[in-house]
Amino acid sequence: MCDLALRQFARALIKFSGKHCYVGRYGGEEFVVIMPGMSTDIAVTIADRIRTGLKKTPLKVSDNIRITLSSSVGIATFAPSQGQKFSSAESLLDAADKTMYQAKRAGRDRAMVYGAN
């Protein structure tokens, strides 16, 4: 069932993130969505669209059982003109990963932005 859930989650990411985003698996149960040229506000909008889409598309386990998937999203942006700088792609991914865990600790099923209060 875990593989089925991961596949459905990946399909939802691709569907709801939009054609200008790149989706990839990052670790066991983590995914990354790269959004070139998009602002933090747009990234939050896309994350919310993904989360809403997941809720509206429950995973069918059997004829009688459906499971609603959720997601905790960490958003980190690279926009040097806005003072958002990272020394490497790895440090950007690390910031997003830490923020995702912060979203989980804050109650799960939410999107949070790196550096936001």
Contacts of 95 (CB under 8 A, 6+ apart): 74, 76, 86, 114
- What are the C-alpha distances in Å from 109 to residues 72, 81, 89, 102? 5, 30, 25, 11
Cα 87–96–105 angle (5° rounding)? 140
Question: Residue 34: exposed, middle, or buried by beta-carbon count in 10 A (0-12, 13-18, 19+)?
Answer: middle
22-25 and 59-60 strand pairing: unpaired
Report the catalytic residues.
29
